[in-house]
């Protein structure tokens, strides 16, 4: 997000899901918060794939800062299925079906 290679929608999507995640952790009895967090995580997996595939720079324009930025975006994308699984387990613990 700090290199401005990806558009602002990438940052807004991920930071808004982070805010909903904080809300879901703070409100331990709310099933709606954890459902919104899980849905947001699943949607950002899809949008992250689209953002990275569309805005990936060509090889000639790939500086070290951009390479690091793309690497962190891909690393975040790879960790999201693990986060989805853990959030789903929290959803089941809170009484979700």
Per-residue CA distances from 1 to 23, 62, 72 (Å): 22, 16, 9
- Is there a domain that residue 18 lies in? no
For residue 12, being part of any structural domain is answered with no
Give me the pLDDT at residue 1, please. 64
Q: What is each CA distance from 90 to 14, 22, 34, in whole angstroms?
A: 20, 13, 8
Range of the domain at 37: 29-95
**pLDDT for 58:** 77
Model pLDDT, residue 82: 96
* Number of independent structural domains in the chain: 1
Angstrom distance (rounded) from CA 44 to CA 40: 6
Digit-coded pLDDT (tens) for 37-96: 999 999 999 999 999 899 887 777 778 888 888 888 999 999 999 999 999 999 998 887
In angstroms, the Cα distances linking 97 to 24, 33, 44, 93, 94 are: 17, 15, 23, 10, 9
Position 6 confidence tier, pLDDT thresholds 50, 70, 90: confident
């Amino acid at each position: 997000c700090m290199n401005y290679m990806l558009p602002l929608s990438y940052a807004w999507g991920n930071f808004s899901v982070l805010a909903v995640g904080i809300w879901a952790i703070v409100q331990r009895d709310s099933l709606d918060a954890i459902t919104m967090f899980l849905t947001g995580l699943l949607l950002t997996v899809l949008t992250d794939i689209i953002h990275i595939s569309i805005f990936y720079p060509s090889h000639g324009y790939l500086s070290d800062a951009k390479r690091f930025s793309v690497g962190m975006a891909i690393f975040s994308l790879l960790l999201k299925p693990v986060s989805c699984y853990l959030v789903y387990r929290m959803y089941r613990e809170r009484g979700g079906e």
